[in-house]
Chains A and B, each alone.
Chain A
């Protein structure tokens, strides 16, 4: 059964995924249980998990339908970009897209979002793309998120960027390396913004100089100057979303948490692909409004919130239903992951220079870049997750990543020990691959998490029985 992956002429993974996603327009705005069931039964098994993950819970349904329709519009814009005379650039999910939305002539497409799209929509998920990479001779220790996202470029036909951008050199080498490889192999330009592993004022100043030079290179390449007004317009929209992000963060503190688990994924996609556009503001607004309403009504999917967990690195992405929905039904709230911790400086909109300085800080402190590109990976990672876990009232932590995450895997033992010492929070270490079910199937993940919550978190929450003093 591979009806989901019958490529048509000119198609590749990205095109196949968005053509399948087209059916979202055919769904009614107010989906009933029967509609969801019918939609689920209409598609192949892996897409069923995406449909259920997005639409099964009434709390998620309206938002996700709204969000994916807007997102599909953005993907179609990416497809049309070159026809409309724009340059298409691939960017990693460690890079703010608003920089590129500030150019009229450039359209950014996030590599990992493409990888996630393929994984969650196409039949066979990202496996054929990963296997193609192995066929090229690439090492199997690379990051599946961006390897799956870039492989359609090598396989052809379909979308092909005019340039590759990355900023993860030294903070995540697998990420930087696959982007550099795509550029070297395909013979297209690459633009790199290095984040110095130096958190002093000197390091930030150097990063600002690097950013200005990076923008100059981009301007020369695309033949368009970054205009102050356009930058301001995009950054103002970006900061409307930031305001809503701050509200979202506060709502996460509610007990039981009124923010559905799947919104964590939505936030990630918004930040990586949509920030700086109206769509990000609209979806964030809806997420906040819906969560407020749930808070007001005291709504929570499970009978009881059994555990509030902070994901110390990244979510699982290959099965929305098995991960986000299952945890929610089990009474396990996902509070966030490393990619949910944003540091937005107070924006000074007064001049192009002042805005760029703030943008430099945003990039410098961008999730993952900030921690893995920190002067000390282990301490910066620990500090930030500890802050988030404490602020949001976590009971426990769960580590998830891919085997490419050498930086975190190399310091995870220290992290786990220190998290326990510092906040008394246990961390469940799960190895596997958040983009490829062949490493750790979802059933195994669920079993591990269930045991952890039942045996460790629930006991920790229960009042200690003291022995009576005779």
Chain B
């Protein structure tokens, strides 16, 4: 399965797509969390760019601001913010995803003082009152984008962007079905690579990329894996990490990752203004442990996905110091094991190449446990 290579793995933060967009006079707005409605940014005629680190192992500038007890993914992203790699961004949207990400954004703001900055405050539960507040937040974000970039975000433009991203999500579901086949035609690392690349594209281009990719794959022969795995966890864009796991004979046939299925969880909402529908669609589908009183929902979704994809086991991974996923992992492991699904919890450092040997040993042992060992 060479599709990610066919399409070209993302190697640069300031990639050709973004460069071309900027060359044409386009503006780019960075965001970090999947709770950010990219439709709004796109409807403003801007390019939404999900902040990533592409496996960048360096953190020396960020370490001067954040501590070593902070998530290494956030430090890796901050590093790129501070060293100028992200200077092409014309605006930043912060979200209160977790304690680490807030610290990352605050330091970024103090050091770089971006012209356009908005703190999108996302409630920690989904209810009528929190939804009303989040809708107002989107209204405020819209005004900030309009004011900063001298544009009007019309309802029509928003509807169009919402249709565009709904199409992306529909294609993602098709892609997921190809992963879940008895002989998967798409690997987990390819799916993550596609999301990593697509999360700095406008919807029509992302959609086109997914279509092209699937056209190549739909009639191709699949691979019978030594083990069918599901991977759950936070934001990690380390495609190589997933490749290493799949290089051991397993295929990641499903996931609940932030740079994966969780980024495409939004369901369309029928009633209300475009902004109200967008707010509800997002706030009701944040499948992240940063949401409270929703553990049962997250667990059920993981269970349902695991059963549908007929997985042999689940790997729950998280970056060191991620309390949100670290705590949830205990409950997920308990409940999935009770349901007869073996679970391996892996705590790791972001982009720590030295870590991969340890990880592979543990995955190998896990695969032997679930009957997929080489």
Of residues 125 through 174 on chain B, the ones whose CB sits less than 8 Å from some CB of chain A are 125, 129-130, 133, 136
Stretch at the interface among B14-22, B36-44, B216-224, B326-334: B326-334
Stretch at the interface among B62-70, B186-194, B279-287: B62-70
Q: Does A378 contact B (CB under 8 A)?
A: yes
In angstroms, Cα B71 to Cα A70, docked, is 43
Which residue in chain B gives the minimum CB-CB distance to A172? B99
Quick one: CB contact mask for B63-95 with A, threshold 8 Å, 1 for yes? 011110111001000000000000000000000
Q: Give chain B nearest CB distance to A113 CB in angstroms.
A: 22
Residue contact B102 to A137, C-beta cutoff 8 Å: no
Of A173, A192, A377, A405, the contact of B290 (CB 8 Å cutoff): A173
| Residues of B within 8 A of A (CB-CB), count | 47
Q: Does B324 contact A (CB under 8 A)?
A: yes
Residue contact B106 to A137, C-beta cutoff 8 Å: no
Which residue in chain A gives the minimum CB-CB distance to B294? A180
Provided the pairs A196-B121, A410-B104 are in contact, do residues A190 and B327 lie with their beta carbons within 8 angstroms?
no
Q: Does B110 contact A (CB under 8 A)?
A: yes
Residue contact B103 to A141, C-beta cutoff 8 Å: no
In angstroms, Cα B69 to Cα A407, docked, is 10
In angstroms, Cα B293 to Cα A190, docked, is 8
Q: Does A339 contact B (CB under 8 A)?
A: no
Q: Does B10 contact A (CB under 8 A)?
A: no
Which residue in chain A gives the minimum CB-CB distance to B67? A409
Q: Does A362 contact B (CB under 8 A)?
A: no
Quick one: CB contact mask for A182-226 with B, threshold 8 Å, 1 for yes? 001100001010101110001100100110010000000000000
Which residue in chain A gives the minimum CB-CB distance to B325? A139
In angstroms, Cα B136 to Cα A414, docked, is 31
Q: Does A376 contact B (CB under 8 A)?
A: yes
In angstroms, Cα B103 to Cα A173, docked, is 13
Which residue in chain B gives the minimum CB-CB distance to A413? B65
Residue contact B123 to A137, C-beta cutoff 8 Å: no
Provided the pairs A197-B119, A406-B69, A410-B103 are in contact, do residues A185 and B331 lie with their beta carbons within 8 angstroms?
yes
In angstroms, Cα B323 to Cα A407, docked, is 12
Q: Does A354 contact B (CB under 8 A)?
A: no
Of B74, B104, B129, the contact of A210 (CB 8 Å cutoff): B129
In angstroms, Cα B104 to Cα A174, docked, is 17
Residue contact B327 to A412, C-beta cutoff 8 Å: no
Q: Does A403 contact B (CB under 8 A)?
A: yes
Residue contact A206 to B133, C-beta cutoff 8 Å: yes
In angstroms, Cα B80 to Cα A241, docked, is 50
Which residue in chain A gives the minimum CB-CB distance to B296? A184
Q: Does B1 contact A (CB under 8 A)?
A: no
Residues of chain B within 8 A of A43, CB atoms compared: none
In angstroms, Cα B132 to Cα A213, docked, is 15
Q: Give chain A nearest CB distance to B171 CB in angstroms.
A: 33
**Most interface-central of A142, A178, A376, A411 (chain B CB within 10 A):** A411
- Name 26 interchain pairs, CB-CB below 8 A, sorted by A: A136-B330, A138-B327, A139-B323, A139-B327, A142-B327, A169-B125, A169-B292, A173-B290, A180-B292, A180-B295, A180-B327, A185-B331, A372-B99, A376-B106, A378-B103, A378-B107, A406-B70, A407-B102, A410-B67, A410-B103, A410-B107, A411-B65, A413-B64, A414-B65, A414-B107, A431-B67
Binding site for A on B (CB under 8 A): 64-67, 69-71, 74, 96, 98-100, 102-104, 106-107, 110, 119, 121, 123-125, 129-130, 133, 136, 289-290, 292-293, 295-296, 320-324, 326-327, 329-331, 333-334, 345, 347
| Inter-chain pairs besides A184-B295, A194-B130, 12 sampled, C-beta below 8 Å | A137-B345, A141-B326, A142-B326, A180-B292, A180-B295, A192-B292, A196-B123, A197-B119, A203-B121, A372-B99, A406-B323, A431-B69
